[in-house]
Amino acid sequence: MAVYLYNLGFTLANAGNGNFLASSAGQTGLGQSDTWFQYNGAGLPPGVSDNLVALGALNPTDWTALTTVPTLNSGADYMLVRIFNTDSFPAPAPTFLLRLTAVMGHGTSTNSAASTPLQAPFQVGAKARPVIDTDNSTNPPNWPAPTGTDGAWSYCFGMVHGGANDYTCNIGATAYLSSGTYAGFSAFGHDPQIHIVSPGDLVKSAA
C-alpha cells in the first residue's frame, strides 16, 4: 500500500494562460508544483479513505518528492491532490474560494508539440478556460475556503480500482477573489497521466 500526492500551485498573475505552475528549481517541499509525492509515514495520513474527502493541512515532513511519475497498484494505493496559491498579498490577505474539478480520461493519447502557452482553446473574457462546468452558484460562489491551515486545498480521491491502464486526469481549479487587483474568477488546469497496474502485472514505464 502506498499513498501518492499530486501537488499543484497557481498564481493569479498567470490566469491569462490558465496554467498551473510548472516545477522549477526554486521550489522546495510542498511548495513544488506539478510534482508527485509519496507518503513516508505509517498507515494512512489522517482523513484518507477510499472516498472523496477534504483533508486538513498536510505535514511537509511526511511527504517525499518523486522524480518520476509513480505507478499506482489497483486495490492498494491511494491518490491525493493538493492545490495551493503562491501570490503575496498585503495584509489583510483576501480569502480565496476555490472549486476543484477533475475529469478522468480512459486511455492514452499523444500530444503534439505545444505552440502556445494556453492550457485550453476556449476563453472567458481574456482568460483561458480550461475548466468548463455547469456550476450555477451565486456571486460570490458557495465554494470552500482552504481546507487546511496551510492555506491549501487538499483532497483524497480514494483508492485506485480496476485493471491495468494509463488514464489521463484533467485537473482543474476555479479560484474566486471578491476584491483587489485580481478580483473575480480565474481558472487553471493541467493533465497528468495516472499509471495503474493490477497485482502481478508488469510495471509500465512512466511517461
List pLDDT tens digits, range 79-107: 999 999 999 988 888 889 999 998 877 65
Sign of CA dihedral 150, 153, 158, 160: negative
Q: What is the pLDDT along the chain (207 residues), one digit of tens a residue?
A: 999 999 999 999 999 999 999 999 899 999 999 999 999 999 999 999 999 999 999 999 999 999 999 999 988 999 999 999 999 988 888 889 999 998 877 655 555 555 667 777 667 788 877 777 767 677 788 899 999 999 999 999 999 887 777 777 889 999 999 888 888 889 999 988 788 887 654 333 333
> CA 152, CA 82: separation in Å to the nearest integer?
7
First to last CA, the chain: 22
> CA 37, CA 79: separation in Å to the nearest integer?
10
In 3-state terms, what secondary structure has residue 50? coil
pTM over 0.85: yes
111-130: pLDDT as tens digits = 555 566 777 766 778 887 77
> CA 145, CA 151: separation in Å to the nearest integer?
8
In 3-state terms, what secondary structure has residue 190? strand
